[in-house]
A = this chain, B = another copy of it.
């Protein structure tokens, strides 16, 4: 079930004829447990029972909120993709004349997210590379549209070469950055941390790449 719809129905109930108080943070617990379990054990080995246990919720209750395991994971993933699009749109509004500012801020936010919401970030990273979970065309198209805006800004200012494809920008902004951050966090034993200094490093690398045609 869609989260917004759920909350809406839930509030409706409250206004009319509430029988039993909903355990308010149950949905949050389920979401966190899903992400944590998948991060710890991988999607293949994660079962509904494990998620339910980690969320302190009965197994059957999950089916009240989601139609099944796939839907549960999908919704978490799609929510994040929507949030990323929203964030990008917001950053474009903030910096309507500088592609590098948008890119830099976006990268900064990826690092903050990876550090502050490690579970959610690792979860997103896993799904990004899982063939069984693909975002729908609407989400894809909105993302393409936003990247086109960034490209237009960059071409105007000379920050991006006019022959750079939308896919190139998408790849470097959404895959390269995320992979870079997670690779460094995963290998944190040997020099591999991630910090604010990486923002400049990543930004410069990507801007250099986007300056050339491909």
| Chain B residue nearest in CB terms to A42 | B132
Does A190 belong to the interface (CB within 8 Å)? yes
Does A165 belong to the interface (CB within 8 Å)? yes
0/1 string, A185-209, CB within 8 A of B gives 1: 0010011100000000100110011
Q: Cα distance A192–B208 when bound, in Å?
A: 21
Does A7 belong to the interface (CB within 8 Å)? no
Does A130 belong to the interface (CB within 8 Å)? yes
Check if A130 sits within 8 Å of B42, measured CB to CB.
yes
Does A44 belong to the interface (CB within 8 Å)? yes
Q: Which of B45, B167, B191 contacts A187 (CB 8 A)?
A: B167
**Total residues of chain A contacting the partner, CB 8 A:** 30
**Which chain A residues (115-149) contact chain B, with CB distance < 8 Å?**
126, 129-132
Does A90 belong to the interface (CB within 8 Å)? no
Q: Which of B42, B179, B208 contacts A131 (CB 8 A)?
A: B42
Q: Cα distance A179–B170 when bound, in Å?
A: 13
Q: Which residues of B contact A180 (CB under 8 A)?
A: 171
Does A176 belong to the interface (CB within 8 Å)? yes
| Chain A interfacial positions (CB closer than 8 Å to B) | 42-45, 126, 129-132, 165-167, 171, 175-176, 179-180, 183-184, 187, 190-192, 201, 204-205, 208-209, 212, 214
In the complex, 17 of the A-B residue pairs with CB atoms within 8 angstroms, ordered by the A residue number, are A42-B130, A42-B131, A44-B132, A126-B129, A126-B131, A165-B190, A167-B187, A167-B191, A167-B192, A171-B180, A171-B183, A175-B179, A175-B183, A176-B179, A201-B212, A204-B212, A205-B209
